[in-house]
Amino acid sequence: MATQLGSLVRTVTYFGFGSGGLGSIAESLECASENFAEDATDPAAFARRCGLEAEFGGSGSTVELAALAALWLAVGITYWLLPLYRLRRRRLRPFRPDAYPDIQRTLTELMALAELRCSVRFVVDLRDQRLTGIAFGRIGRRHVMLSGGLLRMHGIDPEAFRMIVLHELAHLRNRDVDIAFLTLICYRLFVFAVAIPMAVLAPFSLLIGWTLLPSSAIFQVLLIAAQCALAVTVAHASSAVLRSRELYADARVAVWTRGAHSLRRLLAAQHGIERTAPRRPLFRRTHPSAAKRLAALSDTSLLFHFSPWEAFGLALSCSLVYLQVAQWTEDAAGLTGHDGVLSALAPAVLLGGSVAAGIWRVTLAAHLNHARWAGAHRTGLAVGCGLAVGTFGDEQHYTAFALGVADPLAVQLSWWLLLGVVGYGFVRWNAVTARAWAPVVLAARRPLAPIVACCAAGVALLSIWLGHVYPAGVPGFGLLTLPSPLNLLPTPLDYLGYVFSTIAVITPSLAVIAVVGATAALPLAAPLGVRVLHRMRGDAPTAGPGRFLLWPPSAEASAALLAPPRLHPVRALVSGVVFGAAAGFGLWVEHVVNALVFPWPIQWVGGVFTLYTVPVAMLLQLAVGFFVAWRNAHNELRALHGVLAALGAGLLLPLASFTSRDHFACVRWGTDHPACGSDPLSGMGFITVAIMAWTAAIALVLLPTWAALHDGIRQQGPPRRPGSSPLPHPPRAW
């Protein structure tokens, strides 16, 4: 909202206080379209050259931050005054204990059962004859509304009265009243401050673009499509938040009453009524259906659902505001354009923290059912698609699109593919890490500690990838040129070569290598953490999973949940070293044969790719990793075995690749050959570490993907009925 309103304010300033005529607009557009490609990487120079700096009122970050502050001020004032408005609008009156002594005794008993840490004021609406209760209020002033129909229900069905009141008290105990209020306030602000102005201005902007610059019409359509996707995402997200809080309130009631049998009876009756009533659209439902609430009472894994649509919405929102948030970070911290990784940290926290939290929840729920998260593949694709679609609407790209400045389609597709790989790889890494650390989380006294640590590592890795990939998508960026014959299709190959050179060939900093190495090693430390916790906590097999299942499992089922996955790190590392040495020896033999008998294949490759030794070493490391993972096909953590093997192979393969070229190929070619002009032995150790680290990062994406596809093809055993759990439930367990 802040970025959209900031753009709207600058536009209004331009038309109201600037030159404002269509002739001026045409001149600005003509100047911008001529110079955008040259100054795309320097917005200040671009604004000065075309006279846009004075017209739009200075820095865009200042306007957007001011809009952000104004929005939060409006949200805070509305949040503080909304309970008072609700009390007066519905004419709610304080509950009188002297008029309802029996109800007062029941409410006192329920308050003691709920163990609330805040004071609650009960109010009544005697005009409302429905069986309803509402929990609302602000911090320090909580209210629970009891309808007139609910007060009469106390004498007819006391258990139904208790369940409905407990459900409202559960909202207060779960502290989701503030979440609901903020969600409603932000959603309505979005509708009136962004969605309606966007709908009004979209035809106008399309008409202006078509009139002044017809070639930009398709890009204007893409911008409108991205904004429509954002509007749909906001509508569905707000209603999903309101629906999920009802399921958690039911779960709290079930814990308090050891089964919520009366609540089940009420929901069953409501389900019979809903079957004949017309259903509202999903984005307008603030309460889940009675059938969904009954299912969540029986299968607690439904409380931890994380759908691909939610992941798509998070990635879309992040991509839409990535450049603006990165600019805010640069302005606040005094960073430069060369600090892309640090600038990407704030957007990575917004996207990575949200997605990682959902992945950990759903992975833990699947582990409690002795299963794997089946939606990891779809969720990864959704995150990748959300990052790509969001680029249609971010400020830099839609400005370039409106001016008719854009990279060729092949370059755009290559960049979107890279963004998709980043999103997909982030989801897959978190899924593997969460599965490996699930026993540690279940057995820990403070389960949030390992979750926060692993999510922080994933966010750091995501900031590195975003900081490298997003600058590579600057519209009109000059591309490298590959030698013949690869320049027959220069656009996509040059672009991918540029990205490869900035990430792999240009040596990254030691901090980046350290983060990548620590992230690759983090899932491998999970079995050690499980064993340490088992020695420290003798009661872990009975106390750990019960907190998450919300009912005590048997000792056998709990021990199975806390059993660490089988991982043989030393064996995998040694296998990688052995197979890497064999691959390096084969590479030596290949260069010897080519140097003595058939010189032209390697000589041709060296003439086209002067640094062909780097991708050859990386591909051989990945091949060793896949081979070791295939050898451990029946192990659940075979992907991690493959990553370890790739690391082991990286100790020898880069060295073998460089030495085979220098000592065999370059002896035959001569030092005047392009591939032998520079001395690759300078900084050999650092280059080896860089190649090993980046190959491990790529293996973290490819190997879990291969494992997921392998599991999907070779499913063993009959499919389990949805909602069922292989854990032995106690009698009448909810």
Domain for residue 719, yes or no?
no
Backbone angles phi, psi at 137, to 5 degrees: 125, 180
Q: For the chain, give the mean pLDDT.
A: 75
> How far apart are the C-alpha atoms of 570 and 568, rounded to whole Å?
6
> How far apart are the C-alpha atoms of 227 and 255, rounded to whole Å?
42
Task: Looking at the structure, tell me whether residues 575 and 477 fall in a common domain.
Answer: no
Characterize 254-272 residue by residue with b for buried, 16 or more Cβ atoms within 10 angstroms of its Cβ, and e for exposed. bebbebbebbbebbeebee
User: How many helices (H) and strands (E) in the chain?
Assistant: 32, 4
Task: Looking at the structure, tell me whether residues 662 and 699 fall in a common domain.
Answer: yes
Strongest mean pLDDT among 374-383, 411-420, 637-646: 374-383
Instruction: Name the token pair of 146.
Output: 């009891």
Give the mean model confidence (pLDDT) for residues 44-61: 52
Please report the pLDDT score of residue 513 as a whole number.
64
Instruction: Examine the pLDDT at 473 and tell me if it is beyond 50.
Output: yes
- Alpha-carbon distances, residue 364 vs 242, 267, 358, 373, 700 (angstroms): 23, 27, 10, 9, 20
> How far apart are the C-alpha atoms of 85 and 83, rounded to whole Å?
5
Task: Looking at the structure, tell me whether residues 150 and 273 fall in a common domain.
Answer: yes
Please report the pLDDT score of residue 511 as a whole number.
66
> In the block, which residue shows the tokens 């989380």?
441
Question: Do the Cβ atoms of 431 and 704 come closer than 8 Å?
Answer: yes
Please report the pLDDT score of residue 512 as a whole number.
65
Radius of gyration of the chain (CA): 30
Q: What torsion, rounded to 10 degrees, do the Cα atoms 525, 527, 529, 535 define? A: -150
At how many degrees (to 10) do helices 196-212 and 217-257 cross?
160
Of 613 and 575, more confident: 575
Of 141 and 487, more confident: 141
Instruction: Name the token pair of 340.
Output: 């892309």
Give the mean model confidence (pLDDT) for residues 408-424: 79
Residue 285, amino acid: R
Instruction: Name the token pair of 398.
Output: 């839609």
With CA atoms as reference, report the closest residue to 429 among 312, 541, 518, 309: 518
Give the mean model confidence (pLDDT) for residues 282-310: 83
Task: Looking at the structure, tell me whether residues 463 and 534 fall in a common domain.
Answer: yes
pLDDT bracket for residue 209 (50, 70, 90)? low
Question: Do the Cβ atoms of 533 and 438 come closer than 8 Å?
Answer: no
Task: Looking at the structure, tell me whether residues 609 and 680 fall in a common domain.
Answer: yes
Task: Looking at the structure, tell me whether residues 465 and 320 fall in a common domain.
Answer: yes
Give the mean model confidence (pLDDT) for residues 220-247: 83
Give the mean model confidence (pLDDT) for residues 82-107: 89
Task: Looking at the structure, tell me whether residues 607 and 459 fall in a common domain.
Answer: no
Of 581 and 604, more confident: 581
Please report the pLDDT score of residue 707 as a whole number.
75
Residue 297, amino acid: L
Give the mean model confidence (pLDDT) for residues 424-446: 83
Q: What is the pLDDT of residues 369-414, one digit of tens each?
A: 777 788 888 898 899 999 988 887 776 666 666 555 666 666 777 7
End-to-end CA distance of the chain: give it in Å, rounded. 42
Question: Do the Cβ atoms of 699 and 623 come closer than 8 Å?
Answer: no
With CA atoms as reference, report the closest residue to 321 among 697, 719, 681, 2: 2
Please report the pLDDT score of residue 170 as a whole number.
92
Domain for residue 138, yes or no?
yes
> How far apart are the C-alpha atoms of 20 and 42, rounded to whole Å?
25
CB count in 10 Å sphere of residue 290: 18
Instruction: Examine the pLDDT at 734 and tell me if it is beyond 70.
Output: no
C-alpha 315 chain-centroid distance: 6
Give the mean model confidence (pLDDT) for residues 484-502: 53
Please report the pLDDT score of residue 144 as a whole number.
93
Task: Looking at the structure, tell me whether residues 665 and 545 fall in a common domain.
Answer: no
With CA atoms as reference, report the closest residue to 150 among 117, 180, 106: 106
Question: Do the Cβ atoms of 492 and 413 come closer than 8 Å?
Answer: yes
Instruction: Name the token pair of 722.
Output: 């949805």
Question: Do the Cβ atoms of 625 and 648 come closer than 8 Å?
Answer: no
With CA atoms as reference, report the closest residue to 479 among 496, 467, 466: 496
Backbone angles phi, psi at 121, to 5 degrees: -110, 120
CB count in 10 Å sphere of residue 7: 19
> How far apart are the C-alpha atoms of 495 and 480, rounded to whole Å?
7
3-state secondary structure of 434: helix
Of 270 and 13, more confident: 270
- The tally of CA atoms less than 13 A away on the side-chain side of residue 175 is 4
- The residue length of the chain stands at 734
Domain for residue 8, yes or no?
no
pTM beyond 0.85, yes or no: no
Q: What is the pLDDT of residues 187-207, one digit of tens each?
A: 988 888 888 888 887 787 777
What single string gives the DSSP state of each residue in 450-515?
A: HHHHHHHHHHHHHHHHHHHHGGGG-TTPPPP-PPTTGGGSHHHHHHHHHHHIIIIISPPPHHHHHH
Domain boundary among 546, 565, 584: 565
Task: Looking at the structure, tell me whether residues 314 and 360 fall in a common domain.
Answer: yes
Please report the pLDDT score of residue 680 as a whole number.
47
Give the mean model confidence (pLDDT) for residues 671-687: 54
Q: What is the pLDDT of residues 565-596, one digit of tens each?
A: 677 778 888 888 899 888 888 888 877 777 67
Residue 334, amino acid: G
Strands 93-94, 141-147: pairing is: unpaired
Q: Report how many domains make up the chain.
A: 3
Q: What is the pLDDT of residues 132-150, one digit of tens each?
A: 889 999 888 899 999 988 8
Residue 327, amino acid: Q
Instruction: Name the token pair of 306.
Output: 């994380």
Consecutive H or E run containing 116: none
Strongest mean pLDDT among 112-121, 319-328, 544-553, 583-592: 112-121
What single string gives the DSSP state of each residue in 670-734?
A: -TTSGGGSS-TTTTHHHHHHHHHHHHHHHHHHHHHHHHHHHHHHS--SPPPPTT--SS-PPTT--
Task: Looking at the structure, tell me whether residues 542 and 608 fall in a common domain.
Answer: no
Instruction: Name the token pair of 287.
Output: 């309460």
Give the mean model confidence (pLDDT) for residues 435-463: 83
Task: Looking at the structure, tell me whether residues 616 and 527 fall in a common domain.
Answer: no
Domain for residue 49, yes or no?
no
Strongest mean pLDDT among 327-341, 405-419, 639-653: 639-653
Question: Do the Cβ atoms of 293 and 250 come closer than 8 Å?
Answer: yes
Instruction: Examine the pLDDT at 23 and tell me if it is beyond 70.
Output: no
Q: What torsion, rounded to 10 degrees, do the Cα atoms 40, 43, 44, 45 define? A: 10
Domain for residue 159, yes or no?
yes
Instruction: Name the token pair of 44.
Output: 């200040």
pLDDT bracket for residue 541 (50, 70, 90)? very low
> How far apart are the C-alpha atoms of 61 and 43, rounded to whole Å?
12
Task: Looking at the structure, tell me whether residues 487 and 542 fall in a common domain.
Answer: yes
Of the ranges 130-134, 327-331, 518-522, which one carries the lowest mean pLDDT score?
A: 518-522
Query: Which spans in 157-289 are helix H?
Result: 158-173, 177-190, 196-212, 217-257, 261-274
Strongest mean pLDDT among 49-58, 280-289, 357-366, 702-711: 357-366
Strongest mean pLDDT among 268-282, 413-427, 471-485, 682-696: 413-427
Please report the pLDDT score of residue 229 as a whole number.
78
Please report the pLDDT score of residue 172 as a whole number.
92
Domain boundary among 518, 550, 565: 565
Please report the pLDDT score of residue 169 as a whole number.
93
Instruction: Name the token pair of 244.
Output: 């999920």
Name the residue range of residue 403's domain. 302-565
Name the β-bridge partners of 147.
Answer: 125
Domain for residue 341, yes or no?
yes
Domain for residue 721, yes or no?
no
> How far apart are the C-alpha atoms of 229 and 391, rounded to whole Å?
12
Strand order in the sheet with 133-138: 93-94, 120-125, 141-147, 133-138
> In the block, which residue shows the tokens 């599991």?
711
- Alpha-carbon distances, residue 686 vs 10, 42, 576, 590 (angstroms): 48, 33, 20, 25
Domain for residue 435, yes or no?
yes
Please report the pLDDT score of residue 676 as a whole number.
62
Please report the pLDDT score of residue 721 as a whole number.
42
Please report the pLDDT score of residue 732 as a whole number.
31
